[in-house]
Structure 1
Amino acid sequence: MNDRSAIGMDVAAGRSGDIEARTTLVGDQQLMVAVKRGDESRPPLLLFNGIGANWELAKPFLEALSDTKAIIFDMPGIGGSSSPRRPYRPSGVARLAARLVADLGHQEIDVAGVSWGGGIAQEFAHQNPRLCRRLVLAATSPGAIMIPGRPRALLRMATPRRYWDKAHMTKIAPEIYGGSFKNDPSMIGRHVEGMFGASSVGYVYQLLAMVGWTSLPWLRSLRQPTLILMGRDDPLVPLANGHVLARLIPNARLEVIDDGHLFIVTRPVETARRIERFLVHER
């Protein structure tokens, strides 16, 4: 991943409602970037997605935001972003994201991360204490040193097969995600329709990025007001990890959603309402 910050010419663009998506060069890395329009007088929300997830999987959540501008991009090798030339670490993704934010013209942002993306969000907030105003961590943990999920569910996450084999995803989703996917199987089909695949290289690099990474040594140094959202029935990241984060981050609080790992997908309106209340209405 190259650290040069020049943003290149758009090579593709598309628009859907209030969301505009385009591929953009940040250094020599081509990224698929989606921007949901919103109130320009407030800092936008930069969202880091989960492992293997293309930005469209977060579309229901983006559309549920009432008037918050939001930015999301596919990780290298995922969705519409080109495969990276070499493995990377969370620190490299955080630097890449900071350069993207600067090139988009923002001097202050709020940051949210879901699952795998929660680790990147923590790293971003740690690297950029002045750029990052507020932090939202959803269904995530402090990294390698965490309270582990169910072994069988974690084993299923070792391969990207669920992103290109939709029948496989339909079969395993209740087991790995819990919550509404277990209680209402009809939700699985709607989620599957939004998947656009993850390359094997991109997925493996995402797995490798988090090997040995942990935020525990510096969580107490984070000064951003932080909202931690956790699912009550999460097979991958047990609720106890949210209690750890809330205890170690000085200005943090934990809210529990009565759902599974992907509550941002299964309960987009409730999730958006909680996050916007935290970002907009609480001082």
Structure 2
Amino acid sequence: MASAEISIENVGGRNLRIARWRLDEPSDHPPVLFFNGIGANIEAVAPLAEAMNDRAFIMFDMPGTGGSPDPVIPYTIVTMAWTATQVLDRFGLGVVDVMGISWGGGMAQHFAIQHPARTRRLVLIATSAGMLMIPGNPAALTKMANPRRYVDADYMAQHFETLYGGALDGTKGKGGHMSRLTPPSPRGYMYQLLAMLGWTSAPVLPFMRKETLILMGDDDQIVPLANGKFLNTLIPNSELIVMEGGGHLFLLSHKDESVSAITDFLDAPDETELSAAA
């Protein structure tokens, strides 16, 4: 995290811990706005921000997670998507490429739907259409819903493979990921769960025209591959890439493949550029 600028900012009436990478450096690419998984803090995805070193990158801890203070009242996915636009405005960012993983993939979808003028392309990682998701392994889901995985290192280590698949288990990436986690507050975790209650993007996705990359692991016990196929069916301009042997954390276990797929997608010319070239 040495390369990130981090500060607590009052944005949209909320105090949020916000991390920025390379905002003051010239780039030929739009910045990336990233939405994290439930209960996860900025540090959990810092390796991705650092690997994508040719573009600016911004993300924030949700209220009650990482270094963001507890929310006073519950929030909704609508209010947090609006808050994200205020974060962009705070740092002078206009149109961005939007990415999200797991719970944050729902936030990313909703941001693109609610604020299409601020969204160029969309990257969805190990995520679903919300309420209509195909459920994962019950053993993994019950442990995923338990915030103890953030607080108790032994609990996390014992259930790591059940939660995240075997690809990262036994590697140095496992220890690195665990060391970067900060437990959310009970209120922060509960409010994140409530924010998605009853939400689904499914009815709207067929009308969304954003170019979208969907990345899924075929060994994901939390968000099974079928969810990515469902998203791919719903979103007209979408591409699905499957990480073989990838669990829920394939972004770490298959880091090079994931970064390559994301950058290739984000850097591909759009239809306007192709028409001009022709």
TM range (shorter): over 0.9
Residue 59 of structure 1: CA displacement?
1.2
Aligned amino acid, residue 229 of structure 1: L
Q: Is this contact kept in 2: 1:179–1:261, CA < 8 A?
A: no
Q: Is this contact kept in 2: 1:61–1:271, CA < 8 A?
A: no
2:94 matches 1:112: no
Q: Which residue of 2 aligns with 1:96?
A: 83
The count of corresponding residues between Structure 1 and Structure 2 is 267
TM-score normalised according to structure 1 size: 0.91
Q: Which runs of 5+ in 2 are unaligned?
A: 271-278
Residue 239 of structure 1: CA displacement?
0.3
Instruction: Quote the Cα distance in structure 1 between the aligned partners of 2:59 and 2:256.
Output: 18
Alpha-carbon displacement from aligned partner over 1:104-131 (angstroms, at most 9, x marks no partner): 1112111001000000000000011111
Alpha-carbon displacement from aligned partner over 1:131-168 (angstroms, at most 9, x marks no partner): 10100000000001111101111111222111111111
Compared with structure 1, are the counterparts of its residues 140 and 86 closer, same or farther at alpha carbon in structure 2 (3 Å cutoff)?
Answer: same
| Of 142, 146, 165, the match for 2:133 | 146
2:167 matches 1:180: yes
| Of 219, 229, 235, the match for 2:221 | 235
| Of 79, 83, 101, the match for 2:66 | 79
Instruction: Quote the Cα distance in structure 2 between the aligned partners of 1:282 and 1:137.
Output: 19
2:247 matches 1:260: yes
Once superposed, what is the RMSD of the aligned Cα atoms?
A: 1.4
Alpha-carbon displacement from aligned partner over 1:49-80 (angstroms, at most 9, x marks no partner): 00110000111111111302111111110001
Q: Which residue of 2 aligns with 1:5?
A: none
Q: Is this contact kept in 2: 1:49–1:117, CA < 8 A?
A: yes
| Of 185, 190, 196, the match for 1:210 | 196
- Aligned partner of residue 17 in structure 2, secondary structure: strand
2:231 matches 1:245: yes
- Aligned partner of residue 72 in structure 1, secondary structure: strand
Residue 41 of structure 1: CA displacement?
3.8
Aligned amino acid, residue 105 of structure 2: G
Q: Which residue of 2 aligns with 1:10?
A: none
Q: Is this contact kept in 2: 1:76–1:83, CA < 8 A?
A: yes
Which region of structure 1 is more displaced relative to structure 2, 162-171 or 263-272?
A: 263-272
Instruction: Quote the Cα distance in structure 2 between the aligned partners of 1:32 and 1:265.
Output: 23
Compared with structure 1, are the counterparts of its residues 178 and 282 closer, same or farther at alpha carbon in structure 2 (3 Å cutoff)?
Answer: farther
Which region of structure 1 is more displaced relative to structure 2, 229-238 or 39-48?
A: 39-48
Q: Which residue of 2 aligns with 1:27?
A: 12
Pairwise mapping of residues 133-172 of structure 1 onto structure 2 (< 5 A)? 133-172=120-159
Q: Which residue of 2 aligns with 1:197?
A: 183
4+ residue segments displaced more than 6 Å? none
Q: Which residue of 1 aligns with 2:275?
A: none
Aligned amino acid, residue 7 of structure 2: R
- Aligned partner of residue 141 in structure 2, secondary structure: helix
2:9 matches 1:56: no
Instruction: Quote the Cα distance in structure 1 between the aligned partners of 2:232 and 2:262.
Output: 16
